[in-house]
Amino acid sequence: MKKTPLYERHLALAATMTEFGGWAMPVQYTSVIDEHRNTRTLAGLFDVCHMGEIEVRGPQALELLQWVMSRNLAKQQIGEMKLSAITNEKGGIIDDVTVYKRGDERYMVVTNAATREGDLAWILKAKEARGLDRAAVTDLSDTIGKVDIQGPLAQKILEEIVEGDLAALRFYHAMDSRVAGMPALVSRSGYTGEDGFEVYTEAGRIGEIWDLLMSIGDTHGLKPAGLGARDTLRLEAGMMLFGHEMCQTVTPYEVIYGWITDLDKEFIGRNALKKQKEDGVRKKLVGFEIVDRGIARHGYPVLAGGEKIGEVTSGTFSPTLGKAIGLAFVPVQHKEPGTLLEIEIRNQRAKAKVVPLPFYRRKK
């Protein structure tokens, strides 16, 4: 397994480690519920060095990205982030990524950990097929370290070591800055549903930022948080996980990504997605909550009228809401909020109902 630059720090904190996307990552330090609630109420610090960063630059950088991305990036401003999907010829999701515009003709694509190499190969293949020789594609993943600080006190903690006005930094925007005296990219974004920031710097020095944030944040209640809390936080916020809600046989219209799919531009998979939109989807990702006792987990059958109609993609007990929640694909006739379902949990059927997403939305 690969190890992030923060691996030894996780061991020193007695974290429970696991394999994730080929990386040794912390699941929890104290407990998932403790780290989850601490992030919702104070602040949590996450190691996300396992994610991929691919730089695309040059006169044909935008043309290449427009061809491989479902999102229209034509009007993206320097310093702005855009969520997008990389789709295949059939409209299936190869990955969901964030695209940072770093400068004129300079972009950074942030990928999921397990899809990094596949994304890079796909972009390079598209570049060659289109003859876009003036777009330079570089995998920066091994040279960049990344931590996320999330929660109501994230800004207060981070601003003690960052140059620049964090209060003026808008959601899904980024700024080049210095953090703890070293060059860094800071964006107001995250994967928890809380306010927070993602901090990128040189891989060999990300540990210095981690240590400083842990030290400064201690008086504010900051705690490190592992993959367990990251998963429950993102699920409450209605965010998807690649390999669960998304894969190459699932399209943006079948999940919650229709809004990042622009059929007015040409891109790989456009024709298939145009046809799907015209014909209508047959299945749809929905949120549900358990009405009875029990917790739904990935792969559990979803039933209606006694017949299996789908499977749970993600499920957990929500520490914030105090109830069991989950995501599942169901036929479109079962997608409306209030629709009654059953989830088969260890050979027992628990009543559930479809509810609007997200499950949790922070108060502004």
- Residue 95's contacts (CB-CB under 8 Å, 6 or more residues apart) are 85, 86, 111, 112, 115, 118, 119, 242, 246
Question: Nearest Cα to 159, choosing from 223, 216, 211?
Answer: 216
User: 129 in a domain, yes or no?
Assistant: yes
User: 145 in a domain, yes or no?
Assistant: no
Interior angle at CA 135, CA 130 and CA 136, nearest 5:
125
Domain that holds residue 66: 52-137
pLDDT by residue (tens digit) across 66-117?
999 999 999 999 999 999 999 999 999 999 999 999 999 999 999 999 999 9
pLDDT by residue (tens digit) across 135-192?
999 999 999 999 999 999 999 999 999 999 999 999 999 999 999 999 999 999 999 9
User: 100 in a domain, yes or no?
Assistant: yes
Q: Scan for tokens 């046989």, then name that residue.
A: 249
pLDDT by residue (tens digit) across 311-357?
999 999 999 999 999 999 999 999 999 999 999 999 999 999 999 99
CB atoms within 10 A of CB 325: 26
φ/ψ region of 154 (left if φ > 0, alpha if ψ in -120 to 50, else beta) reads alpha
Interior angle at CA 183, CA 182 and CA 188, nearest 5:
110
User: 12 in a domain, yes or no?
Assistant: no
User: 287 in a domain, yes or no?
Assistant: no
How many domains does the structure of the chain reveal? 1
Cα–Cα distance, 171 to 40 (Å, whole number): 18
Percent of the chain at pLDDT > 70 equals 100
pTM above 0.75, yes or no: yes
CATH number of the domain bearing residue 63: 3.30.70.1400
CA distances from 42 to 29, 136, 223, 256 (A): 16, 41, 9, 29
Query: Which pLDDT band, with edges at 50, 70 and 90, does 238 fall under?
Result: very high
Residue 47 in tokens: 């190691």
User: 77 in a domain, yes or no?
Assistant: yes
User: 219 in a domain, yes or no?
Assistant: no
Give, rounded to a whole angstrom, the gap between the first and last alpha carbons of the chain.
40
User: 117 in a domain, yes or no?
Assistant: yes
